Structure 1
Amino acid sequence: MKTIKLIFSRISFYFLSNKLIFIMFLLGGIVCSTSFIYFYGNQLSTKKSEVSTDSSYYTYTLKFDEPTSYYEIKNSSLLNSEIIEDVMAVHYLLLDDLPKEFNKNNYIDYYLRVCTQINNKHKLFSKMGRSEFYDEEIKNGKNVIILPNCDDIFSLAQGDTVTLSGREYEVIGVNTFIDNFYIPSNTFDKCGYSIDEITIYTTERMSRTENSQFIANLHAEFPQSDLIESPSESYKAADSYFIGDFFLIMCEFIISALSFMFLIKFLIDKSNLENIIYLIVGATKRKLFLILILENIIISGIIGIISIAIHLITYNQFFVYFNVYEGLQYSIMDYIIIFISIIILSCITAIPFIISCLKNSIIINKNKYN
C-alpha cells in the first residue's frame, strides 16, 4: 500500500512540475492506444472473419456414404428451417449418362454431376443464357437444362437439345461451374436420381457457437454422411493467422509509442534526484526499477481506460465510419484483451528508457546532483 501511495505521489509530481509535458504524454498515449484498438478490429483475421460476407461462411456440404433419396432431403425438418435458403442436391453421373457432345476421354478432367436447387432460391451465375428456371418449368418438371462451363459444350447454343441419362433436354443456359448440370427440382425427382451429396446455403452467417451446433444437428440428422465443407474451415484459417496479425499490431503500437516515450523519460529524469535519495538510503536498483515499472503500469492503465472509453462511447458516431468491414463489433472480451495488451506493450516500450535512467552508479548520480 505504501508503494502504491508513493507511486501516485510521484505521478502527481510529474503532473504538477511539468503540466504541458505530462498532458502531451497522455494525449500521445491515448492516440496510440486508440489506434491500437482500431487495428485490433480491422487487421486481425479473427475479427474480420466475424463479419466476412464470403460465401464459405454460408455453405455446408455433406457427402453421403450411401446415396439417399430426394424425398428424405426434401422433407428433412432441419433443412426446412427458416435459416436455410436453399439445398443443392447432387447426383454423380456415370460415363454413359453424359451427352454425346462430351468427349469421353476428357471425362476424367471433369467430375460431372447433375444438380438441382430444391427451393430454387440460391442464385446461379450465368455464362450464357438463363441461370434460373421459371416457376412453370419447376412445377411441371420440364426437361430443360443449364449446362456446365466446359470446353465440350461450346458448340451448343440456347435452344439446342442434349441427352442426359437417356432423356432429352432443351438447353436454356450455361452456368459458371465446370462440372454441374442443373435441372428443375421436380424434373430431378421424376428422373429418380439418388442423392450422393448436398450443399446447404444458409440465409445468414452463423457465429462460431451456432456453427458448431448446426454441424452437430447435421450429423444427428444424417449420421451416414461426411461433412466436407463448412464455415469451420474458414474460422480455423482465420485463427491460424492470429499470432502473425497480433504481432504486427504490437509492432505498430511499439513503434508509435517510441515516438513520444522520450517525454516520460524527461519526467523520470526530473525525479532522478528523488531516485538517488532512495538508492542512498538503501533501496536497491531492482526495487527502484519495480517502482518505475509500476508507475508505467498505472499511467498506461489510465491511458487504456480513457482510450477504451472514448472508443466505446463514440464508436457508432465516429469510429464505425472508418471500419474496413461493415458490421464490425467489439465484445467485452476484446476490450479486456486490448487493455491488458496496452499495459504490457507500454511496459516493454518503457523498459529501455527506465534502464537508461538507472544505469549510473550511486556515486556518479550523487556527484551529478551535488
Structure 2
Amino acid sequence: MNDEMKTRTVLLDSLSDAATRVFTTILTRSPISRIDVARLTGLSQGAVTRAVAPLAAAGLVNDSLDPTLTGLPGRPVSPVAVVAEAVVALGVKVNADELIGVATDVTTRTILSDRLPLTSHDPAAVIDAIVTICSRLQGRLGALGSRLACIGVAVSGDVDMTSGVVRDSALMNWRSVDLGAALAERLDQRIVVENDVRALTIGEHWFGVGLGTSSFAIVTIGRGIGSGLHLNGEVVEGAYGVAGEIGHLPLTSPDRICACGRRGCVEAVAATSAIVAVVSEAHGRSVSIDEAVELGRRGDPAAVAAFAEAGQVIGAAIASLVNLVGPELVIIGGEGVANFDLLETSLRRSYAEHVFASADRCRIVVRPHTFEDWARGAAATAIRSLVV
C-alpha cells in the first residue's frame, strides 16, 4: 500500500459519525447534490461541506462536478461523487469445490474476476488457495494494485467477523479456524471474514435492492438454506455472530438428520444434498442435482415430491422469518433459484398458509445471484469495514 492509499485509509478510519454518514451517502448514491446529502443525513449544509472537504482533498470524492453532466434531475447545487477507483477491494467467496474472487472499485463494480479449484478442505490448503487467488487478482490489477485497501472473505457457517474466526462451518467441516489472522499474516492487508449470506446482504444493503429500503431479508437456497437480515437500515449481525439461520429451524420431521448433526432442520429436507438423497434412494442409484431437476421437470413422482417438500418447508421458514421481523421484502437467491419452478407452487402456498395477518404484505421476489455476486458481497463487507 503506497503513501496515498495509507492517507486515504487512515482518513476513512478516523471519520466522525457525521462524516461517515456523509461519505456513505455519497458512496451509495453518487452523484448527489449536497442539498440531498444534507436531507438524507439530517445534517446542515455547512456540516456536509466541512465533511466533504478532507474527502475531496484525499481524492476520495469529487466536489468539482459540472451540474449539467451529472444526470441528476433539475439543477443540482454543488453535486459530489465518489471517485470509484480511489480504493480497490478484493472479495473471495469460499465454496466447497472452488474459490471465486473479484477485484472491485469502492462501489463494488467488478474490475476483474478469477476462479480457483479447491482440492482439499484442510484449512491450511484453503488458506494457501485464498492467498494464491488474491495474489493473482492483485497482479492482474496493474497500476490499480497500489490502491488495494482491503480483502473480504465470505464463508458459509458461524463466523465471528470481529475476530475473523470461523467457529463452525458444516460445508467446510471446520471448527474454530482462525482464518482472519492466518490471512493477515500472509497478505499484509486489512482482512474481513464474514458469513457468506450476511456478506451478500451487506452488498445489497449498500449497492443493491436494500438501498432506500428500510427492511428486507435475503433467503438463499441451494447447498444450504441461509438468510441475511437488513432491518431499520442496518444489517443484523447478532450478538454472537449468528442471525437469520432459517436453514436450522426445526420445521420438519425429527427423522430427517441435517448435515449439521441436528434433527428436523429445514436443510435436512430442502438443501440440494437432501433432495438428491431422496431422489437417489427412490431410483436405487446415485442421482446428481441436474438429473433430479430433469426428472422433476419430466414429472417423475419421486423428484416432484422431493422438490415440493423442499418448497413447503422453505415457505414455512420464510413465513416464520416474516412473522418475527416484518420486512418489506424477501429476496430469494442462491444457486437453487435455477430450479425455482419446481419449488415455487408449494413454497408460495406454504408461505401463505403460515404468514400472519398484515405481514402478508411483504413481497417475495426471486433474484438470481451469481457466485461473483457473492464475492462482491465479500468485497462490500471489507469496504464497509473501512468506514463503519
TM-score band by shorter chain is under 0.3
**Greater relative contact order (Cα < 8 A, sep 6+):** 1
TM-score for the superposition, normalised by structure 2: 0.19
TM-score for the superposition, normalised by structure 1: 0.20
Compare CA radii of gyration and give the structure with the larger one: 1
